[in-house]
Amino acid sequence: MPVTLTPLTNKVIWITGASGGIGEALARELAAAGARLILSARRQAELERVRASLANSTSHLILPLDITDSQAISATVATIAEKIGGLDWLINNAGISQRALIIDTSLETERKLFEVDYFSQINLTRQALPLLLADGGGKVVFVSSVAGLVGTQYRGSYSAAKAALHLWANSLRAELFEQGLTVATIFPGFVKTEVSLNALTGDGKTLGEMDTAQAKAMSATLFAEKALKALLKGKNYIVIGGIKERLGAWVSRLSPELLYKIIRKSQVR
């Protein structure tokens, strides 16, 4: 019986933050589409659980990683080169959110948010570029946020870091287009995950509770379905969310002054 080829058959895709939430949902969609995955996050036990749930589970590689550790990134890239030899896609999904007003947020917490959500992302991407470019190009996907397009209350540093990531991605796309690199940025709105539970408060502690807006949001599975559909169509600017989030992203490009008025009245927690 002939083997059925799926859209990502034989593609090697590295996902960070793959131990839950959006990363786990993306892993399921990508595995079902035929990809061979490299799953990274800090929690090995959770990575094992995710891998066991995937199609063709034994073909996927687990490489635990703290993305803020530059030496660990180098070692992981070297392991991928040794064990697999190449990389087709990199999905930068790992990150941390924020739930604190600017006036209540310490500089140390601000720096931590940027370290995880910006500096670690670009460092990992830069180190992975040789693998991505080795065969004439690859795809880098950044998971930013609608907050990085509009800025909202309680997410000052998070919004800023996600905006910085978006613009760095734009520069990367322009610089390496001729070498065949494709760069896509996804801007999620509210997605029902544990992101608010793990979000940092002003003093750097975790919030430990679910936001009302988060609890009512779209599922991570639906988000992943929409994200993969857009990526396979070759889209590079991908906003996924409810009507309010998509409207906010649209207004941010057409009328910043109107956006500011909308944001002040929006429920973001």
Q: Angle of helix 156-176 relative to helix 107-114, nearest 10 degrees?
A: 30
Tokens of 60: 């996927």
154, 158, 237, 260: which one is catalytic? 158
Residue type, 8: L
User: CA-to-CA distance for 150 and 256, rounded, in angstroms?
Assistant: 9
76 close to 63: Cβ distance less than 8 angstroms: yes
118 is an active site residue: no
User: CA-to-CA distance for 55 and 52, rounded, in angstroms?
Assistant: 8
User: CA-to-CA distance for 98 and 197, rounded, in angstroms?
Assistant: 10
In a 10 Å sphere around its CB, with 0-12 CB exposed, 13-18 middle and 19+ buried, how is residue 21 labelled?
buried
53 close to 28: Cβ distance less than 8 angstroms: yes
7 close to 32: Cβ distance less than 8 angstroms: no
Strand partners, 38: 14, 61
143 close to 18: Cβ distance less than 8 angstroms: no
Active site residues: 158
